[in-house]
Amino acid sequence: MALPLGDGVGGSRLRRQLESGGFAAGEYVKQLSQQSDGDRDLQEHRQRIQALSEETAQSLKRNVYQNYRQFIETAREISYLESEMYQLSHILTEQKGIMEAVTQALLLQADRDDPALGARRAASDPHSNPFLPLSAKEAAASEEGRQRTLTTLLEKVEGCRDLLPESPGKYLVYNGDLVEYDADHMAQIQRVHAFLMNDCLLVATWLPNRRGAYRYDALYPLEGLAVINVKDNPPMKDMFKLLMFPESRIFQAENAKIKKEWLEVLEETKRNRALSEKLRLEQEALPRAALPPPETTNPFDQEDEKEPPPEEETVDLSLEWIQELPEDLDVCIAQRDFEGAVDLLDKLNEYLGYKALSQPVRELRAKVDERVRQLTDVLVFELSPDRSLRGGPRATRRAVSQLIRLGQSTKACELFLKNRAAAVHTAIRQLRIEGATLLYIHKLCHVFFTSLLETAREFETDFAGNSGCYSAFIVWARSAMRMFVDAFSKQVFDSKESLSTAAECVKVAKEHCKQLSEIGLDLTFIIHALLVKDIKGALQSYKDIIIEATKHRNSEEMWRRMNLMTPEALGKLREEMRSCGMSSFDQYTGDDCWVNLSYTVVAFTKQTMAFLEEALKLYFPELHMVLLEGLVEIILVAVQHVDYSLRCEQDPEKKAFIRQNASFLYETVLPVVEKRFEEGVGKPAKQLQELRNASRLMRVNPESTTSVV
């Protein structure tokens, strides 16, 4: 049995022999065959050599892995060193730019203090620009080359020639390929190519069928561009975000080095742009000495000479707060200090006043107007329904007041009312539909009318000086009331509630609506107009139920007196009839527990008076004829049945009993119905008077034996 390689003397000797420089495989095999005693020894030697081969392979793998790790660490160190060298170069370039700017500023100041010195400097070198240091001259010499490079690159971008006109100072700083990702889902959108110029950033998309050609996508000025480093979160890495209010875009670079270059060159270009703009404004703000008018020898010119027109008042834009105004506005907008931003705008408007609009003022106005648009967009977003609706109407006061100060009263009114409409709609949707309809309606009315009242008060506070906005509020209140009525009707009328429940619900809604009169707002007519259709349907439906029930009782009428069996039942019936207004009902009660009226007439009386009481709770002028015609139809069913029974009945006792019931209807029930209707409506009903005064309500054919209804 062969020993494991490396553990025995034979294995070590074999390894040394194989590793020797003069090893000859043929001689080794020949010698081994001669010394071997047989096949067994050869098999053992073969196993030893095979084990040595496997161990050598494992050793090679370990060495390769170790070397690979060292290679990676070395490459990482080289990358770090390269990054540090790039940072050092960037810092040196930045310091160089600062020194050049300081030198230029000092030269400007020296020439301003001593014009003769500047003239001598210009005379000594007429071909050079005395205000440029040496490095700036070299940069000016290469500017033409950079512009040619920019023109060549932009020729490859479709659709940007008109949007990006050529200007002497525009040149390409950096460009490269990027991959755009969706900001919400981090899904890849498209490949783009970005061109960074000294004053803007151009983004173009790849054209799939044309190699090296692009299509214009977007152009962003550097003044409103913010760059944010996105932390690596594998597999999403080497990304950075560009903020251009109100949108943002995320791009991925090819590797970490290119990402770092993009971040640094963007920040550096923005700083250089801001510095050049500041120097340009300072130069333009310098007062220019007026040239003396040329002397004339024409005496007629002296005679006709008029006083020169007054010089336009110059505006000093070199003040520190004016120079920093655009940046201060950006800070206020970013920190949501809307009041501070509007205060700065008011201060600027007050300072400029009605002075002449020179070119520097126009440029300043253009920058400020861009910030005003950004501020307006932020305030509009604050009032959008997508924002949180908590806090009530007062939560919108801040944004509304600042929009009004910016002269956007109409937009502020529109957004405020949209915000409140969304809040009211959300509040109604969040109400739990309870089992008891009346309880739900109490909650619904409380939520809706409280919100409406708070909105009206806040509207009056915010737009006190804008009377033209009040008509918009009335239109909004009507639409809000329609939303309330939809929820109200769905719960009360669509669910087929009883007339008494519907009447109580409508009464609650009317009482809450009257609360709006505290602020001089009366929307009762609106709620009447929106509810009239549903209430008409409810009245007609309940009227049909009463008529069907009366007809059913009439078909089973036996014309017998009522026997209530117990004094308690009789006392209860007296109370019910007294509550219906039948004060003379006692004369129709007999001995013991008998009532000298039929069950049909008593049930009809109670049902009709209940219908009248509930209908009067729902009453408003638009329902006058609906209610009156319904009462007439119900009463006609009863009196026609009594009239028909008098004609057809042959038994004298029953005929006398029918006359007694007819007398109760004509002399007791109908006057009470007429009086109660007049009290509830406020005016008498001629139809009910005619119905009561007629001796017969309808003529019936004496030979007929069927009831006419």
Q: Quick check: bond before 235 cis, omega within 30?
A: yes
DSSP code of residue 621: G
Residue 302 has pLDDT above 60, yes or no: no
* pLDDT surpasses 80 at 500: yes
Q: Is 706 helix (H, G, I), strand (E, B) or coil?
A: coil
State yes or no: pLDDT of 699 exceeds 70.
no
Give residue 391's pLDDT: 63
The 10 Å CB-count burial string (b at 16+, else e) for 312-331 is eeebebeeeebbebbebbbe
CB 344 within 8 A of CB 328: yes
Is the predicted pLDDT of residue 164 greater than 70, yes or no? no
251 pLDDT more than 90: yes
73 Cβ neighbours under 8 A, 6+ residues apart:
none
Measured distance CA(538)–CA(550) in Å, rounded? 18
For the cut 90, the answer to whether the pLDDT of residue 631 exceeds it is no
Of 175-189, 195-209, 461-475, minimum mean pLDDT range: 461-475
Average pLDDT over residues 481-490: 88
pLDDT of residue 30: 80
* Res 111: pLDDT: 63
For 468, which DSSP code?
A: G
The burial of 27, by beta-carbon neighbours within 10 Å (0-12 exposed, 13-18 middle, 19 or more buried), is given as: exposed
Tokens, residue 51: 């084990």
Q: Cα torsion for 331, 333, 335, 337, to the nearest 10°?
A: 110
Q: What distance in Å separates the CA atoms of residue 116 and residue 461, rounded to the nearest whole number?
A: 64
* Distance, CA of 476 to CA of 445 (rounded, Å): 18
pLDDT confidence of residue 194: 92
Pairing of the two strands 214-221 and 157-158? parallel
Q: What is the pLDDT of residue 131?
A: 40
Q: Distance between CA atoms of 440 and 492, rounded to whole angstroms?
A: 10
Three-class DSSP category at 244? strand
Q: Which of 628, 629, 632, 649 is nearest to 707 (CA)?
A: 649
Share of the chain above pLDDT 90, in %: 3
Greatest mean pLDDT range, 5-19, 178-192, 206-220, 588-602? 178-192
3-state DSSP assignment of residue 371: helix
Confidence of residue 134 (pLDDT cuts 50, 70, 90): very low
426 compared with 152, residue with greater pLDDT: 426
| 8 Å CB contact between 455 and 393 | yes
Reply yes or no on whether the pLDDT at 286 is more than 90. Answer: no
Residue 174 amino acid letter: Y
Helix axes 524-555, 624-648, angle to 10 degrees: 10
Confidence of residue 143 (pLDDT cuts 50, 70, 90): low
pLDDT at 115 over 80: no
pLDDT at position 1 is: 36
Contact 448, 484 (CB under 8 A): yes
pLDDT tens digits for range 407-444: 888 888 888 888 888 888 888 888 877 668 888 888 88
- Evaluate if residue 8 carries a pLDDT over 90: no
Provide the percentage of residues in the chain whose pLDDT is more than 70. Answer: 82
Residue 332, Cβ density class (10 Å: 0-12 exposed, 13-18 middle, ≥19 buried)? buried
Place of tokens 């007519």: 525
pTM given for the model: 0.49
Least confidently predicted of 67-76, 303-312, 397-406, 528-537: 303-312
Question: Tell me, what DSSP letter sits at residue 430?
Answer: T
Residue 178's pLDDT is 93
* Contact yes or no for 204/192 (Cβ under 8 A): yes
Residue 252: name the closest of 239, 234, 266, 233 by CA.
Answer: 239
Got the DSSP string for 271-334? HHHHHHHHHHHHHHHSPPPPPPPPP---HHHHHH--PPPPPPPP-----HHHHTHHHHHHHHHH
Query: Would you say 550 and 637 are in contact if contact means Cβ atoms under 8 Å apart?
Result: yes
pLDDT in tens, 334-345: 888 888 888 888
> What is the structure's pLDDT at 133?
43
pLDDT in tens, 561-578: 888 788 888 888 888 888
Question: pLDDT tens digits, residue range 177-202?
Answer: 999 998 777 888 899 999 998 888 99
Q: What is the pLDDT of residues 633-675, one digit of tens each?
A: 888 888 888 888 888 877 888 888 888 888 888 888 888 888 8
Largest CA distance in the chain: 156
Q: Residue 290 pLDDT > 50, yes or no? A: no
From the list 265, 241, 117, 99, the residue with the least C-alpha distance to 183 is 241
**pLDDT at position 304:** 46
- 3-state secondary structure string across 111-180: HHHCHHHHHHHHHHCCCCCCCCCHHHHHHHHHHHHHHHHHHHHHCCEECCCCCCCCCCCCCEEEEEEEEE
What angle is formed at CA 622 by the lines to CA 617 and CA 623, rounded to 5 degrees?
45
* Pick from 301-305, 664-668, 698-702: least confident: 698-702
